[in-house]
Copies of this chain bind each other. A is one copy, B any other.
Amino acid sequence: MKKIFNRPENYVVEMLEGLCAAHPRYFKRSGAEGRVLARPEAPIAGKVGIVTGGGSGHLPVFTGYLGPGLLDACAIGEVFASPGVEPMADAIRAANGGAGVLRLYGNYGGDRMNFDMAGEMVEFEDIRTTTVLVTDDVASAGPEERHKRRGVAGMVYCFKIAGAKAAARASLDEVTAAAQKAADNCRSVGVALTPCTVPAAGRPTFTIGESEMEIGMGIHGEPGVRRGKLRTADEITGEMLEMLLADMPLSAGDRVSVLVNSLGATPLEELYISYRYVARELAAKGVAIVAPLVGRYATSMEMAGMSLTFCKLDGELDALLAAPCDCPFLKI
Contact = CB atoms under 8 A, between A and B. Distances in A.
B275 A21 contact: yes
Contacts of A275: 18, 21-22
B270 A4 contact: yes
Interface stretch (A93-101, A111-119, A299-307): A299-307
Query: How many copies are assembled?
Result: 2
Chain A interface size, under 10 / 10 to 19 / 20 to 34 / 35 or more: 35 or more
A64 B13 CA distance: 32
Interface string A258-273: 0000001111111111
Interface stretch (A41-49, A55-63, A136-144): A55-63
A34 B6 CA distance: 46
Given A265-B302, A268-B60, A331-B331, A274 B4 contact: yes
A269 B6 contact: no
Q: State the 10 A-B residue pairs at the shortest beta-carbon distance, nearest first.
A: A18-B272, A18-B276, A265-B265, A59-B268, A2-B193, A21-B279, A267-B301, A4-B270, A18-B275, A17-B276
Contacts of A9: none
A233 interface: yes
A269 B232 contact: no
